[in-house]
Amino acid sequence: MEDFVARCAADDRINGKFARTDIPRLKKMLVDQVTRATDGPATYAGRDMKETHARMEGTAGEFDALVEDLVASLDHLAVPKEDQGELLGPLAPMRGEIVEIESPESGQPLPETYQPAPALS
């Protein structure tokens, strides 16, 4: 997740959506969610994807950019394509809960009205 989060932070197509994100919380939630989605032992206790991304005004282009960053991280870490498929398969259905605007646009700012999750305590 370190490599993936760093890629997202450096990616102008999506980094604006993380402007008010508690990064340690994000990393923990991503690890738990990915572990759970791949039948691992973690318990994901975060908000569901629809609630998390509501009013974020995420676009299809931004979702695609995030997936590209994830694949680039997996490639960088030499994760075999078969294993990548096992990870990306369960995550793909989340697209409908994350994308609010069907547009190829990316780099859109996070709306001022968006309320991020509270920081980890």
Instruction: Read off the pLDDT of each residue in 3-22 and give the average, rounded to a whole number.
Output: 94
Counting residues of the chain whose pLDDT is more than 90, the rounded percentage is: 64
pLDDT tier for residue 121 given thresholds of 50, 70 and 90: low
The predicted pLDDT at position 33 comes to 85
pLDDT tier for residue 4 given thresholds of 50, 70 and 90: very high
Using the CB atoms, write b or e for 89-101: b if 16+ within 10 Å: eebeebeeebbbe
The CATH code of domain 2-98 reads 1.10.490.10
Instruction: Read off the pLDDT of each residue in 2-13 and give the average, rounded to a whole number.
Output: 95
3-state secondary structure of 51: helix
3-state secondary structure of 101: strand
- Report pLDDT digits (tens) over 20-78: 888 899 999 999 988 887 888 888 888 888 998 999 999 999 999 999 999 999 999 99
47 is written with which tokens? 């908000």
pTM across the whole model? 0.89
Instruction: Read off the pLDDT of each residue in 83-101 and give the average, rounded to a whole number.
Output: 91
* CB 61 within 8 Å of CB 99: no
Any idea of the CA torsion for 7, 76, 90, 52, to the nearest 10 degrees? Answer: -10
Q: Where are the domains of the chain?
A: 2-98
